[in-house]
């Protein structure tokens, strides 16, 4: 299990190995109830239809996702007392780390800068070469202190066959730090490079489930909710209604747009009660006339 968390790519492209090994460890350790609680929390806060990798695929470049996803399961192993750390931070070191993250991510950080500031990590996920992605985890010996994870990445540039692969950066750079217990993506702080490298909207799978809501012209309230766009269009065509069929995420539209970087407050009324109450989701929508897209 501990080998898996250091080189997850050797155990498959998906997180099946993590699920199987943690479940087996819980059975051996007599901690099945604890594992079930952890897994329920994981599903509620950090899962998409394709697991933890699905959530990370909307936050990091594709080649950084496998190691980053494994670090989430490593955090569970740490809380359960199963993770063998390469180094434990003192309580003072850990407090300094957590207190300075928000300030540090305002500027780009390299691998050597992270290690120079906070020392060798408690867990190194991924290869130790200068190419590609990796995740550095920091923790104390206490299972009450969550694993703080730095997700690093170094794009590989296309070169001629004789030169071999070349990194776009002289060394991996930090894209994001996972240091909160909130739902994804609220658990992360992104560096400027991390924001630049986040997948674009057309590259993303949904960060969270969505529904389609129909609001008729001149109507005071919405009149229909559907799981898919197709179901909404079929209903609208059957009843020849006129109005807007719009996609809504589960949760507050304002908070979600803010967390996903689709909206940045720029005026004094932004974020006020009235503004949040009237905020539109900003996702896909269709104008329908007599049940047909206009």
Domain ranges of the chain: 2-203, 210-293
pLDDT of residue 256: 78
The alpha carbon dihedral of 20, 24, 27, 32 has a sign of negative
Q: What share of the chain is helix, strand, coil (3-state, %, to 5)?
A: 40, 20, 40
- Which residue blocks in 198-251 are alpha helix, DSSP H? 229-239
pLDDT of residue 159: 42
Could you tell me which residues are beta bridge partners of residue 83?
A: none
Q: Give me 282's structure tokens.
A: 């900003």
Higher-confidence position of 130 and 43: 43
Q: What is the SS3 assignment for 181?
A: coil
pLDDT above 80 (res 13): yes
**Between the ranges 34-43, 124-133, 200-209, 235-244, where is the mean pLDDT highest?**
235-244
Own/partner long-range contacts of 198-202 (Cβ < 8 Å, ≥24 apart): 198/58, 198/59, 198/60, 198/261, 199/57, 199/58, 199/59, 199/60, 199/61
pLDDT above 70 (res 221): yes
Mean pLDDT of 165-169: 51
Q: Give me 252's structure tokens.
A: 């507050």
pLDDT above 50 (res 203): no
Q: Which residues of 95-129 are buried (b: 16+ CB within 10 A; e: fewer)?
A: eebeeebeebbeebbbbeebeeebeebbbbbbeee
Mean pLDDT of 135-150: 96
Backbone angles phi, psi at 60, to 5 degrees: -130, 160
pLDDT of residue 127: 86
pLDDT of residue 169: 60
pLDDT of residue 50: 76
pLDDT above 50 (res 195): yes
In this prediction, residue 184 has a pLDDT band, given cuts at 50, 70 and 90, of low
| Cis bond upstream, residue 57 (ω within 30) | no
Q: Give me 224's structure tokens.
A: 């229909």
| Chain mean pLDDT for the chain | 86
Distance between first and last Cα of the chain: 55
In angstroms, the CA 9 to CA 1 distance is: 13
pLDDT of residue 219: 93
In this prediction, residue 37 has a pLDDT band, given cuts at 50, 70 and 90, of very high
Q: What is the SS3 assignment for 203?
A: helix
In this prediction, residue 294 has a pLDDT band, given cuts at 50, 70 and 90, of confident
pLDDT of residue 131: 73
In this prediction, residue 206 has a pLDDT band, given cuts at 50, 70 and 90, of very low
Q: Give tens-digit pLDDT for 235-286.
A: 999 999 999 999 888 888 888 777 666 677 888 999 999 999 988 887 778 8
Q: Quote the pTM value.
A: 0.66
Mean pLDDT of 74-90: 96
Residues 6 or more apart from 39 whose CB is under 8 A from it?
Answer: 19
| C-beta separation of 282 from 263 below 8 A | yes
Please report how the helices 32-46 and 16-29 are oriented relative to each other, as an axis angle in degrees rounded to 10. Answer: 150
Residue whose token pair is 């968390």: 5
pLDDT of residue 49: 65
In this prediction, residue 163 has a pLDDT band, given cuts at 50, 70 and 90, of very low
The alpha carbon dihedral of 121, 122, 125, 126 has a sign of positive
């Amino acid at each position: 299990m501990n080998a898996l968390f250091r080189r997850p790519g050797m155990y498959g492209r998906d997180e099946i190995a993590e699920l199987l090994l943690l479940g087996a460890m819980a059975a051996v350790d007599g901690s099945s109830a604890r594992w079930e609680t952890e897994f329920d929390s994981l599903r509620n806060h950090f899962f998409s239809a394709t697991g933890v990798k699905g959530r990370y695929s909307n936050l990091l470049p594709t080649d950084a996702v496998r190691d980053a996803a494994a670090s989430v399961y490593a955090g569970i192993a740490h809380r359960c007392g199963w993770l063998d750390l390469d180094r434990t931070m003192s309580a003072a070191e850990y407090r300094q780390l957590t207190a300075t993250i928000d300030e540090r991510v305002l500027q780009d950080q390299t691998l050597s800068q992270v290690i120079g500031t906070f020392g060798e990590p408690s867990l190194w996920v991924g290869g130790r070469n200068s190419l590609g992605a990796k995740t550095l985890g920091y923790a104390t010996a206490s299972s009450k202190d969550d694993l703080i994870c730095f997700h690093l990445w170094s794009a590989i540039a296309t070169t001629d066959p004789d030169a071999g692969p070349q990194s776009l950066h002289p060394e991996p750079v930090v894209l994001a730090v996972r240091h909160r217990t909130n739902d994804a993506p609220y658990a992360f702080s992104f560096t400027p490079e991390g924001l630049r490298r986040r997948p674009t909207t057309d590259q993303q799978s949904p960060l969270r489930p969505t529904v389609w809501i129909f609001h008729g012209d001149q109507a005071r309230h919405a009149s229909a909710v559907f799981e898919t766009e197709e179901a909404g269009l079929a209903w609208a065509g059957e009843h020849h209604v006129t109005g807007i069929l719009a996609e809504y995420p589960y949760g507050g539209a304002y908070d979600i747009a803010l967390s996903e970087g689709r909206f940045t407050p720029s005026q004094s009324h932004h974020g006020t009660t009235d503004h949040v109450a009237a905020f539109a989701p900003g996702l896909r929508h269709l104008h329908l006339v007599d049940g047909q897209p206009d």
